[in-house]
Structures are given as structure tokens and as C-alpha cells.
Structure 1
């Protein structure tokens, strides 16, 4: 996949086929048309269509101009790949959306048929403005509140430890805007794993996705998936199996990472870290939680004391029961001996009294 490291604005057909096969971005049910919407003579989207759309967007945006969808449609309709049978606004919008979803790895849909998992783009907003709205910096805080985020994220803050201590499962997503989206109800964390492809976007001549967003994304991946951690690599091999595409790219980060170093991903990262610092939700995670060694040994020492107390208490109870049983049997024997003595006086038992 060396092609992704070069001009991402002009992907080859092989690259686009790979993206189409790997990204399950557009499930079949998402193509269901809204009520009252009809498309005449729908045409399939080919690799060449995607290439032309990406090239035209790149040409429009090269000199810093904003790319609006009506202007893009006019340019595409002049292309032999789209004219004249594709001269339908809704149909062309679908092709533009799919091309952008594959190119910019964002769940873009037309506002008329947008779903909960997608973000709507209409004719009134430029593509650059639309993308910038998906990655907003948090509101400026006072210096005192800003210090709340000025701490080093620990080395054990990895996906493997998050799963082990917090019981949060990983769900791969094909949209960069859903990266680090935590669902506390079903305990799932969405991870966009195509680091290598996003790094290729970073090297593109036209900056469609802000470089700061990509840089922070790569930092989050290097933080949560450290290449030097054997357990992380084992987890990736198990989960991805032969589908290792996407986890390549720049690894490592210079020095410790502060939460204040993140801006676009700070809110989601801080939410995940707060969940990571919470006590384990189940006994299984509690037994495996060794983040605080002193607390972990104290817990197991208390468990040992309670266990020994139960064992010795059980032994004492059994011993007391056996003692009571033996004492009761001895009492019965004594009563039987006394009864025998009264029933058989010495004279009648053949004993001569001198």
C-alpha cells in the first residue's frame, strides 16, 4: 500500500478497490431511499468515478478555494464519466458522498437521507467548512480549569488495559469522526484503525482534514496501541488476524503525553481516561486490577484473612459439633450404667455380703 504514502489526491484503481473491500462504510441498507425519493437509471460507482471526483475536488481546492457541491456537480457533469446519463442531482450526490466517504474516511450523507450514524452535507456549506465542523476544538477554559488537564497520561493507559480493568470492548469504525466514541451503556469504544491511510492524507498537497486533527489522531493510536507492548501486539494479531492493513504508520511519540496536548480529541480521551480510573465494574476486573500495587496487595491480604477466618471458623464449628456429639454419647453410656446398677442389687446379683 505504498500508493497511500504518495499523492492521496489521485488514488489508483488498485487502491480504490482495496478501500472498497476493506471499508464497509456503506452498508446495503443505508442506500435505502427516503420516502418519495426516486432515482432514474441508477449507475454503479466505479473506481474511475471515484478517481475523477477526488481529482476535481483537489483541483477546486488547490488554490485555497472552497469546494461547494453545486459547483462540483457542474464540473462533474462536464466529464464523460458522468454525462449525459448521470445528469441527475440525487444520483450524482450519492456518488459524491461515497467517494468522499472512501477518500476522507468520514460518514458523509446527504441531509435528505442522513442516518444517525452519518453526518449531513448540503449545498449551502462548503466541503472545508463541513469537515471543520466535525473536529471542533474544545471551548477555551480559564487557566485554573486548564490545569485540570495538565497531567501525564500513564504508560498503562492502553486498549488492552482498558479492556482488562474497565470491561470495555473495542468496536472498529470506518469513520474518523467516530474515533474514541465511548458508549457507556453497552461498554464499547469505537476505534478508527486506518492509521496508515490517515497518515497518507497528512502528506497530501491539499489539506482537506486539518493536519492538527491527523497528528492528534496518530498520537492517540500510538498511546492506546503501543508498538513496544507485547500484549497489545498479541491483541491486534488476534482481533485483526490477517487484516493488518491500517495499523502501520508512524509509531512512538517523543516523551510523555499530557492530556493538555490534545485539543480535538481531548473530550473523548478524558472521558475514556476517567472511565479507566474508575473501580473495576466486576469481580473479574477487580481481581486483575494491579494499577495500584499497594491497594492490590492490601485487597488480596484482606481476602486471605477472610478466607483463613472462614476456614478456622469452620474447623472450630466442626470440632464443637463433634465434642458435643461425643459428650452426649458419654452421657448416654453413663445413664445406661446407672440404670443397670439399680436394676441389679448386689444380693440378687450373687454377691454375698459378709
Structure 2
């Protein structure tokens, strides 16, 4: 814990951090934890340092931005926790019912992270804050994706999140990074795996979980219905709207955009006819030029 960060917390070793984590998992209220830290003579400093120590432990345990850190950069979306248990805070944050209702809407197989980037034109950025998962930022030009696959896998049945939250978050990653496409080698999908490797490499110095795309399988057709999602439904609906409304602007986007098969074939048939017409026109021009040349310079 050495370095500039230890100027803002009371803990200086691993054991006090583990102690606070155990209190958090045991649903000890924040006020009671603060009293416990005050009685520990090894933890010196003002109360705000003890508050920061509790926030630090809560952040490490839940991957949520809890409390505003000193001199924090990009403090968007942090949770203000002043009283009660950590479980109550998380439940309050994720307990709201979905607002958008798109009953019987199903995500097509073409809907994934690659399509959002390469067809819809949305930039993909990874976040360490699970509360920012699937959030559109930067004037709706960038989507944030929580990438910590290992963290999700290690959440047991006694985790601090609401029932079904972790499993649904796994399903969103299976939707955006299906294992059948981004995981095991599959003919015709190598370009998507190369895209993911390039995307994760560009995220440096942020270390992206390398198991992304290799876990959680591929969602079946019935699992891709929007009503199967509760906690992330609103953000998924907004992403699907951006995906459906996007219009290709480059040749590459037109080539990869298979959302409407009829439109795709019509476009490329028109391009082929135009190319053939231009070629035949060029041949006729060359032939006419040769005829004129021969007329003036007969052999």
C-alpha cells in the first residue's frame, strides 16, 4: 500500500483490508465499521482516511466506483455511500425496473460487439466499473463494456449483488462476445478474432481480461429475447436501436452489413452492373481510339 495512495487511507497492510472485506460481506453497516476502525490503534489518521479505507475495500470487492477518491480522474458515476450496508447500496443502485418495453424483440445473430464497431460506427471502450457496463458516452459515440470475466466467474451464490444480476451480466457478454465467434477457431470468423485482439491491445495500459470471448458460451435463440434481460434491458435496447438505425458509410461497412439481405444483394448487384458497364465503356473507348488511329495511320 506504499506510495501516494497511502496518504489518503489508514490501512498499510493486507490484513486490515481483509478484515474490512469480511465486514462488508457480513452486512455490517458502514457506521459500525467506522467505529470498529476507530478502536484499532494501528490505523492512524483522521476519520476521512478510515472512510477512504472502507471505500477502497468496497471498490475492490464489487468493481464499483464507491465514494469519490481523492484527485480522481473521470469521476463519472461514482456511488455515494454514507450509511447502511454495502448490499443495500448495491441493491438500490440496480433494483429499478426497466423503463423501455420491447416485448418479443430478439437480438439477431449479427448483433455483437464487432457489428457495433464496424457497422454502427460505435467505438468500444472497456471499463473497470460494472455500473458503467453498456453505457453510451461521448455524445452516444462510444459504448463502455465491463470486461472482467474472471471477476464474474468468481462470484458465488452469496455475492453482494441482487439475485440474477451476475448471471445476466454474463449473458450480455455472451451476446456481445459469443464464444462460438470470438473463442474457439471457426471458419469464416477469424477477422472478428483479429479485431478483438487489436481492440484489447489498443486498450493498453489498461489490462483487458484475455478470457473475454472465451467464456459464457453462445446464447441460444430463446435467450436472445429482450424480455430475458432485466437489469441491463434499457441499455441493450438503446444499443439495438443504434445498431438498427445505423447506415453504412464506407465500402467496408456495406460489405459486412448483412442485416438486410435483400438490400445487401441489391447494392452489390448495382455495383457489379456499374463496374461491368464502366469496363465495357472503357473497352469501347479504346476500340474507337484504335479505329481512329488506324484511319489516319493505315498499316
Classify the TM-score, shorter chain: 0.7 to 0.9
| Aligned CA distance change for structure 1 residues 246 and 137 (closer, same or farther; 3 Å) | farther
1:156 aligns with 2:110: yes
1:196, 1:40 → 2: CA distance?
30
- Asked if the contact 2:174–2:215 (Cα under 8 Å) also holds between the matched residues in 1, the reply is no
| Aligned CA distance change for structure 1 residues 237 and 318 (closer, same or farther; 3 Å) | closer
Cα offset, 1:319, TM superposition: 5.5
Matched residue of 1:119: which SS?
Answer: coil
Note the alpha carbon deviations across 1:31-62, whole angstroms, 9 max, x for none: 6xxxxxxx978656533232111111223x1x
- Asked if the contact 2:171–2:216 (Cα under 8 Å) also holds between the matched residues in 1, the reply is no
**Matching residue of 1:105:** 63
Partner residue of 2:135 out of 166, 172, 181: 181
Matched positions, count: 279
Cα offset, 1:176, TM superposition: 0.6
Matched residue of 1:172: which SS?
Answer: strand
Alignment of 1:108-127 (within 5 A): 108-110=66-68, 116-124=75-83, 126-127=85-86
- Asked if the contact 1:173–1:191 (Cα under 8 Å) also holds between the matched residues in 2, the reply is yes
Partner residue of 2:273 out of 305, 328, 334: 305
Matched residue of 1:166: which SS?
Answer: coil
- Asked if the contact 2:149–2:211 (Cα under 8 Å) also holds between the matched residues in 1, the reply is yes
1:252, 1:41 → 2: CA distance?
44
| Aligned CA distance change for structure 1 residues 185 and 283 (closer, same or farther; 3 Å) | farther
2:69, 2:15 → 1: CA distance?
25
**Matching residue of 2:226:** 259
Cα offset, 1:109, TM superposition: 1.9
- Asked if the contact 1:106–1:175 (Cα under 8 Å) also holds between the matched residues in 2, the reply is yes
1:88 aligns with 2:46: yes
- Asked if the contact 1:196–1:249 (Cα under 8 Å) also holds between the matched residues in 2, the reply is no
1:176, 1:40 → 2: CA distance?
27
2:13, 2:119 → 1: CA distance?
45
Q: Which runs of 5+ in 2 are unaligned?
A: 202-206
Partner residue of 1:290 out of 237, 253, 258: 258
Cα offset, 1:199, TM superposition: 3.2
**Matching residue of 1:335:** none
- Asked if the contact 2:9–2:53 (Cα under 8 Å) also holds between the matched residues in 1, the reply is no
| Aligned CA distance change for structure 1 residues 122 and 289 (closer, same or farther; 3 Å) | closer
1:214, 1:252 → 2: CA distance?
17
- Asked if the contact 2:107–2:226 (Cα under 8 Å) also holds between the matched residues in 1, the reply is yes
1:137 aligns with 2:96: yes
Which of the pair has more CA radius of gyration? 1
Q: What's the TM-score, normalizing by structure 2?
A: 0.76
